[in-house]
Each structure stands twice: as structure tokens, then as C-alpha cells.
Amino acid sequence: MEKINLLVVYQVIMHYRVPFYRKMQKDEQLNFSILYGEGKPGTKLVNANLDNLELNREKVPGFRIDFKGNSFPFSPLLAFRLFRKNPQVILAEGSSSIINGTIAFFYAKIFHKKFIWWSLGQLEGKKHNAIRRLISKWEHIIEKNADAIFTYSTKGKKYFLSRGIEEDKIFVGVNVLDAESRIKENKEANEINFPWTNKFNIVFIGTITKEKNLELVIDALSVLNVDQDKFVFHIIGDGKHRDNLENYIKYKLVSENSVIFHGRINKGGGKIMEKCDLMLLPGLGGLAICEGMICSLPIITGNADGTEYDLVDEGNGFIFPDMTVDDIVKTIKLLHNNPAITKELGANSYKKITEEFTFNNYYASFKSALNFVIKK
């Protein structure tokens, strides 16, 4: 059987995407390669450690275009690299890389290549200025003319259906991590000193940005710990918004002993999470939910990236679309006062991510999209 020449166009090689790309490279049906760029320091858009990363990859020089709160990568040489690679199928990143995605789209249409649009759809509650509304109109043209759409969640699918996209070309790959590798990594990681075992430990993992709404958790802690510091909030990650968050903690007079900043940890963060009692994601995100489920934690989440409606239900957690401080306080008290319920919810999280929403099922959804466009 002749191999399919697949080219991924993405602005960076994120560390959590590496297992997905490795699986593509090992797939006997594919000739895989990826074109990527420099990323944006201080955000989650940074490349993984690529020193010993055996991927068929090529870095494309470029810069970012920043305009009225929007930031898009632009690689002027991308069209030339696409022409040189001559792929059969292009899998291109969605709206966060709309300029490079547009270049890839035009190349595919001009040279009769198959084009898959890789997009979460639309983030709930995110405000759209005039530029974003214009981009959305252009995206709609790409969506209509793409050979397939590979989206993050069933909510993403509903979004594309609402925009008049044919259902048969929308493929849902619920955006998850490679749980098997993560579990192995957690087992092999060194033990850590964790002096908070007599507390009720809440954990967040991800880049510290304004959109993560971490101030909401600080507000909840100011209520929960009004008498004594029984509850500890662990933050695994970093970001430019950290200074603002630390100032907010001081403003709310929340004890520094009840908020622990662990910094960015790409490997070994699971050792901290395994010792916590629940995962809390009050704002945008998504993969953090997977991290919590892998570590057998109940999940409390607001509107994340759409995957929460696939991954979280009454069996393993709580979803609050318009999360309030009162929601957080009441739910944390419920779990704190009912350790048996907390344990059951955590066990269900682990079962869901290792049996139902597996990485293999995620990859199988992608392969379905790929086979669909090949047969068109």
C-alpha cells in the first residue's frame, strides 16, 4: 500500500503534542513531517525540548503580527516550503494561526491537495472584536472548503454544524493526553517532599493567564480559610500574569501558606497532583482536565475549551458554565466533608481517561478524518 504524505502546519511543537506526532511518524501508512515556527516566549506557545526529539520536522522562519490584542504567526517562506514538501494531505492549525493556515489552504486548493482544518471551534464567552469577527468570516470560507474538519470536542462539532458545515466531514477527536505515557512518567518520577498532607489540597496546572480566572479561586480561599488554613491551592505553571495574581493574593489577605506556586513543570508535575484532592480549572484550558483525571482527581471546571462536556459529568466532577465563588466554596466543602465521594469521583476520572477517552481513540478519530479525505 502506498504511503500517504502527510504534512502538519502548526506554529510550535508543544510538549503535550509530541506523542501525537510520534504516533504519526510511526504509522506505517504515513510519510509524516511537520513545519513549525519559533513560538511566543512567556506563553504556552513554546517549543518542546527538541534536542533529542526524533521527528521529521522543519523549522520555518517567521515573526508575529500583533494587532489590537491579537497575535498571529506569519512565515513568509511557508508557501515555498509547502511547494518543496509536496504533501498529499495538509493538517493545519485553526484560527490561532490564521495567516499561516490561510497560506496552507490556498496552496492546497491551487495544487489540488487534501486539506484538514484542525480547530476547537469557538471558545465560550470569549469576546470578539472587529478583527476577530472579520477573521471568523474568513474562517467560515475555509471551513466550507476544507476537505475535513478535525475538532476537539462534541461541542466543537455542534459549533461547526451551526455554521452550516456538512456533518459527514466533521470528525471529533476529544483532545486528550497520552494517559499511558503520563502514568508511566509519574511512576518513574522522583518522590517529592509534600508537607501539606494534613490539608485539603486543590491543584491547577497550566499557563498563568488572565483568562484562567485564578483570582476566582483566591476569592474562594478567602472564604474557606477565614478561620484557619485548612485548604491549600497548588499552582503548577507560570506566565506573565503571575505577578498580578500574587498581588491579588496580598490584596485579599490570603495567607501565602495557602497558595503554593510550583512553577512550570513539564515532567514530574504528576507527583504533586497525585497527592492533591481535586483539580480546579476556573477558566479557559482543557488539557489540564486530562492531567487531573490521569491523577485520579475529581474535576471542578468552568467553560474550558469544550472538552469538559465530554470528559466531565456527575460521575467524576462538576461543570459550572458561569462559575462563581459560591460554586467553588460549596463544592470544595462538599468534597472536603465527604472523602468517600471524593475518592469515588477520582476513581471514575481515572477510569474514564484510561478506558473511554484514550489516546488511541483520539488518534483513531484523526485517522478516520485522514481516510475520509483520501477517498474523496
Examine the pLDDT at 264 and tell me if it is beyond 90. Answer: no
Examine the pLDDT at 273 and tell me if it is beyond 90. Answer: yes
Q: Which residue has the higher pLDDT, 44 or 361?
A: 361
pLDDT for 40 equals 79
pLDDT grade, residue 218 (50/70/90)? very high
pLDDT grade, residue 156 (50/70/90)? very high
pLDDT grade, residue 131 (50/70/90)? confident
Average pLDDT, stretch 337-356?
A: 97
Q: How far apart are CA 145 and CA 327, in angstroms?
A: 42
pLDDT grade, residue 127 (50/70/90)? low
The alpha helices in 42-164, defined as continuous H runs, are 78-85, 98-110, 130-145, 154-162
pTM exceeding the 0.95 threshold for the entire prediction: no
177-214 confidence digits (pLDDT tens): 999 999 998 888 888 899 999 999 999 999 899 989 99
pLDDT grade, residue 66 (50/70/90)? confident
Q: Which residue has the higher pLDDT, 70 or 95?
A: 95
pLDDT grade, residue 304 (50/70/90)? confident
69-93 confidence digits (pLDDT tens): 678 899 999 999 999 999 999 999 9
Of 162, 205, 156, which Cα lies nearest the Cα of 307? 156
Q: Which residue has the higher pLDDT, 51 or 67?
A: 51
Q: Which residue has the higher pLDDT, 279 or 131?
A: 279
Which residues, 6+ apart, have CB-to-CB distance to 198 below 8 Å?
none
pLDDT grade, residue 133 (50/70/90)? confident
Examine the pLDDT at 230 and tell me if it is beyond 80. Answer: yes
Q: How far apart are CA 47 and CA 44, in angstroms?
A: 9
pLDDT for 290 equals 96
pLDDT for 37 equals 93
Ordered structural domains, the chain, with CATH: 4-176+358-375 (3.40.50.2000), 180-356 (3.40.50.2000)
Which residues, 6+ apart, have CB-to-CB distance to 348 below 8 Å?
315, 316
Examine the pLDDT at 310 and tell me if it is beyond 60. Answer: yes
Which residues, 6+ apart, have CB-to-CB distance to 106 below 8 Å?
79
Query: Measured at the alpha carbon of residue 12, what is the angle toward residues 372 and 111, in degrees to the nearest 5?
Result: 45
Mean pLDDT of the chain: 92
